[in-house]
Amino acid sequence: MTKPLIKVRDLRKTFTFSKGSLFRKSIGQVVAVDDVNFDIKEGEILGCVGGSGSGKSTLGRAILRLIPSDKGSVTVDGVDLMTLSDEALRRRRREMQIVFQDPLYSLNPRRTVAENIARPLFNFKFPRHEIEERVRMLLGHVGLDPTHANRYPHEFSGGQCQRIGIARALALQPRFIFLDEPVSALDVSIQAQILNLLSDLQEELNLTYLFVAHDLNIVRHFSHRILVLYHGRIVETGKSEEIYDNPKHPYTKTLLDSVLSIEGGDSWEKVSVKAGALADNEDVESAFRARASAQTGCIYAATCSERLEHCGRETPEFKEISPEHEVACHLY
Amino acid sequence: MTVANKTLSRTKGQDKPILSVQGLKTFFDTPAGIVNAVDDVSFDLASKEILAIVGESGSGKTVTAQSILKLVPAPPGRYAGGKILIDGFDLLSKSELELEKIRGQRISMIFQNPRAALNPSFTVSTQLVETIRRHDPSISRVSAKNRMLELLSSVDFPDPKRVAASYPHQMSGGMCQRVGIALSIACEPEILIADEPTTGLDVLVQATILLLLKREHTRRKLPIILITHDLGVVRALATRVIVMYAGKIQEEGSADAVLSNPQHPYTKALINAVPHSRQSGRRLSQIKGQPPDLLKLPTGCSFSDRCQVAVPMCSVSKPDLHLSPSGSKVRCHLFSSDITSPL
Select from A221, A264, A279 the Cβ nearest to the Cβ of B156: A279
Cis amide leading into B75 (omega within 30)? yes
Instruction: Provide Rg for chain B, Cα atoms.
Output: 21
Tell whether the model's pLDDT for residue A282 goes beyond 90: no
Q: Which of B12, B13, B41, B15 is nearest to B27 (CA)?
A: B41
Measured between alpha carbons, how far is A218 from A234 in angstroms, rounded to an integer?
20
Do strands A79-80 and A71-76 pair parallel, antiparallel, or not at all (unpaired)? antiparallel
Q: Which of A234, A277, A225, A295 is nearest to A28 (CA)?
A: A295
Distance from CA of A218 to the nearest CA of B (A): 6
Mean per-residue pLDDT for A198-206? Answer: 92
Of B24-28, B154-158, B265-269, the range with the lowest mean pLDDT is B154-158
Q: Is A187 in contact with B229 (Cβ distance < 8 A)?
A: yes
With CA atoms as reference, the chain B residue closest to A251 would be: B204
- A21 compared with B307, residue with greater pLDDT: B307
Q: Is A188 in contact with B269 (Cβ distance < 8 A)?
A: no
Q: Is B210 in contact with A220 (Cβ distance < 8 A)?
A: no
Q: Where are the domains of chain A?
A: 4-19+28-245, 246-314
Instruction: Please state the φ and ψ torsions of residue B68, each to the nearest 5 degrees.
Output: -60, -35
User: Tens of pLDDT along B319-335?
Assistant: 999 998 888 999 999 88
Q: Is A268 in contact with B286 (Cβ distance < 8 A)?
A: no
Q: Is B204 in contact with A261 (Cβ distance < 8 A)?
A: no
Q: Which residues of A touch B285 (CB under 8 A)?
A: 192
The pLDDT, as a whole number, for residue A132 is 92
User: Tens of pLDDT along A113-171?
Assistant: 999 999 999 999 999 999 999 999 999 989 888 888 999 998 888 888 999 999 999 99
Name the residue type at position B318.
K
Instruction: Provide Rg for chain A, Cα atoms.
Output: 21
Letter string b/e over residues A249-265, b meaning 16 or more CB atoms within 10 A of that residue's CB: bbbbbbbbbbbbbbeee
Mean per-residue pLDDT for B219-231? Answer: 92
Measured between alpha carbons, how far is A196 from A208 in angstroms, rounded to an integer?
15
Q: Is B156 in contact with A52 (Cβ distance < 8 A)?
A: no
Q: Is B156 in contact with A199 (Cβ distance < 8 A)?
A: no
Distance from CA of A209 to the nearest CA of B (A): 14
Q: What is the mean pLDDT of chain B?
A: 86
Tell whether the model's pLDDT for residue B303 goes beyond 60: yes
Q: Is B287 in contact with A192 (Cβ distance < 8 A)?
A: yes
Q: Does A159 touch chain B if contact means CB atoms closer than 8 Å?
A: yes
**DSSP state letters, B321-342:** EEE-TTS-EEE-GGGSGGGGS-
B82: left (phi over 0), alpha (psi -120 to 50) or beta: left
Tell whether the model's pLDDT for residue A2 goes beyond 90: no
- Which residues 45-84 of A have a C-beta within 8 angstroms of B? 51-52
Mean per-residue pLDDT for A45-70? Answer: 90
Q: Is B203 in contact with A51 (Cβ distance < 8 A)?
A: yes
The pLDDT, as a whole number, for residue B341 is 40
| SS3 category, B169 | helix
Q: Which of A250, A254, A256, A220 is nearest to A238 (CA)?
A: A220
Q: Is A189 in contact with B166 (Cβ distance < 8 A)?
A: no
Select from A189, A220, A284 the Cβ nearest to the Cβ of B269: A189
With CA atoms as reference, the chain A residue closest to B277 would be: A217
Q: Which residues of B touch A241 (CB under 8 A)?
A: none
B209-213 LR contacts (CB < 8 Å, sep 24+): B209/B174, B209/B177, B209/B178, B209/B181, B210/A260, B210/A268, B210/A272, B210/B236, B210/B237, B211/A268, B211/A269, B211/A272, B211/A273, B212/A272, B212/B155, B212/B156, B212/B178, B212/B181, B213/B181, B213/B237
Pair A305, A311: CB distance under 8 Å: no
Tell whether the model's pLDDT for residue B24 goes beyond 90: yes
Q: Which residues of B touch A51 (CB under 8 A)?
A: 202-205
Distance from CA of B206 to the nearest CA of A (A): 8
The pLDDT, as a whole number, for residue A12 is 92
The pLDDT, as a whole number, for residue B3 is 42
Distances (CA, A) of B224 to B44, B66, B192: 12, 14, 5
**DSSP state letters, B243-305:** EEETTEEEEEEEHHHHHHS--SHHHHHHHHTSPPTT--SSPPP---S-S--TTS--SS-TTTT
Do strands B248-254 and B329-331 pair parallel, antiparallel, or not at all (unpaired)? antiparallel
Q: Which residues of A touch B173 (CB under 8 A)?
A: 52
Q: Which residues contact A88 (CB under 8 A, 6 or more apart)?
A: none
Q: Is B202 in contact with A268 (Cβ distance < 8 A)?
A: no
Burial status of residue A78 (CB atoms within 10 A of its CB: 0-12, 13-18, 19 or more):
exposed
Q: Where are the domains of chain B?
A: 15-106+189-274+288-299, 118-188
Distance from CA of A3 to the nearest CA of B (A): 22
The pLDDT, as a whole number, for residue B335 is 86
Q: Does A190 touch chain B if contact means CB atoms closer than 8 Å?
A: yes
Q: Which of A161, A162, A169, A97 is nearest to A138 (CA)?
A: A169
Q: Does A22 touch chain B if contact means CB atoms closer than 8 Å?
A: no
Mean per-residue pLDDT for B192-198? Answer: 91
Q: How many CA atoms lie within 13 A of A121 on its CB side?
A: 22
Q: How many CB pairs under 8 A join A and B?
A: 149
Pair B110, B195: CB distance under 8 Å: yes
Q: Is A190 in contact with B276 (Cβ distance < 8 A)?
A: no
The pLDDT, as a whole number, for residue B121 is 94
Mutate which: A195, A260, A284, A291, vs B, most B CBs within 10 A: A260
Mean per-residue pLDDT for B196-204? Answer: 84
User: Tens of pLDDT along B282-302?
Assistant: 678 888 888 788 888 888 899
Could you tell me the pLDDT band of residue B272, with boundaries at 50, 70 and 90? confident
Measured between alpha carbons, how far is A237 from A257 in angstroms, rounded to an integer?
17
Of B158-162, B221-225, B259-263, the range with the lowest mean pLDDT is B158-162
**Residue B24: alpha-carbon gap to chain centroid:** 15
Q: Is A262 in contact with B170 (Cβ distance < 8 A)?
A: no
The pLDDT, as a whole number, for residue B13 is 42
Could you tell me the pLDDT band of residue B152, with boundaries at 50, 70 and 90? very high
Q: What is the mean pLDDT of chain A?
A: 86
For B15-106+189-274+288-299, CATH gives 3.40.50.300
The pLDDT, as a whole number, for residue A211 is 94
**Residue A133: alpha-carbon gap to chain centroid:** 31
Its ipTM equals 0.82
Tell whether the model's pLDDT for residue B14 goes beyond 50: no
Pair B204, B211: CB distance under 8 Å: no
Do strands A71-76 and A4-19 pair parallel, antiparallel, or not at all (unpaired)? antiparallel
Tell whether the model's pLDDT for residue A295 goes beyond 80: no
User: Which range has highest mean pLDDT (A5-19, A37-51, A289-303, B201-215)?
Assistant: A37-51
Q: Is B286 in contact with A214 (Cβ distance < 8 A)?
A: no
The pLDDT, as a whole number, for residue B340 is 43
Mean per-residue pLDDT for B226-237? Answer: 92
Q: Is A188 in contact with B270 (Cβ distance < 8 A)?
A: yes
Mean per-residue pLDDT for A242-268? Answer: 87
Burial status of residue B148 (CB atoms within 10 A of its CB: 0-12, 13-18, 19 or more):
buried
Name the residue type at position A86.
D
Q: Which residues of A touch B286 (CB under 8 A)?
A: 189, 192-193, 196
Q: Is A260 in contact with B204 (Cβ distance < 8 A)?
A: no
Q: Quick one: A4-19+28-245 is in which CATH superfamily?
A: P-loop containing nucleotide triphosphate hydrolases (3.40.50.300)
Q: Which residues of A touch B175 (CB under 8 A)?
A: 279, 282-283
The pLDDT, as a whole number, for residue B9 is 42
Q: Which residues of A touch B283 (CB under 8 A)?
A: 196, 199
- A310 compared with A115, residue with greater pLDDT: A115
User: Tens of pLDDT along B76-116?
Assistant: 889 998 999 988 889 999 888 888 888 888 999 998 888 88
- Which residues 218-277 of A have a C-beta within 8 angstroms of B? 218, 220-222, 244, 254-255, 257-264, 266, 268-269, 271-273, 275-276
Q: Is the pTM of this model over 0.80?
A: yes
Mutate which: A198, A272, A273, A278, vs B, most B CBs within 10 A: A272
Q: Which residues of A touch B215 (CB under 8 A)?
A: none
User: Tens of pLDDT along A96-105?
Assistant: 999 998 888 8
Distances (CA, A) of B91 to A72, B21, B45, B97: 63, 10, 15, 12
